[in-house]
Amino acid sequence: MNNVLGCHILIEACDCDPGILNNIEAVKETMINAALQAGAEVCNVAFHKFSPQGVSGVVVISESHLSVHTWPEFGYAAIDVFTCGDTVDPLTAVEHIREKFKARRALVSEVKRGIFDTHSISKISPG
C-alpha cells in the first residue's frame, strides 16, 4: 500500500441468509473471525441487536476497524473493512464475511484513505 495510510473496503452484501443476519452471536463471531483471519489484532468489540430485527456492530482492530449493519428482512448487510498498514489483508476479511453471511451477490468497492500532499496540508493547517 504505497503512498496511502489505509484501505477502506465497502461491501453491499445482498441475498444473505436472514437467519444469520438477525443472530447477534453469529454476526459478532463472523466479524471477529474475519479480522483475525486477515491478520489483525482485535482491541475491542461492540454489537447491538435491534427489535424486531437487525444487528449493528464494530470490531476495533489495532489497524482500524470492521463494522456491520444488517437488514435481515431484505437479506442485506452493509459492511466496512478499514485497515491501515500492510500487515493485514482486508480481502481475506471480505471473503470470510461473504461466505459466512451466505451472500449470493455483493458489490465491493475500495477506497484508498490517507492520500494527501504534505504541502497542501501545511497550507490549510491553523497557525
Could you list the active site residues? Answer: 64, 69, 84
Angstrom distance (rounded) from CA 31 to CA 94 = 10
Give the Å distances, CA to CA, from 16 to 21, 28, 34, 88: 7, 16, 17, 25
Closest C-alpha among 47, 82, 77 to residue 62:
82
State whether the Cα torsion 10-82-101-57 is positive or negative: negative
The phi, psi pair for 39, rounded to 5°, reads 95, 15
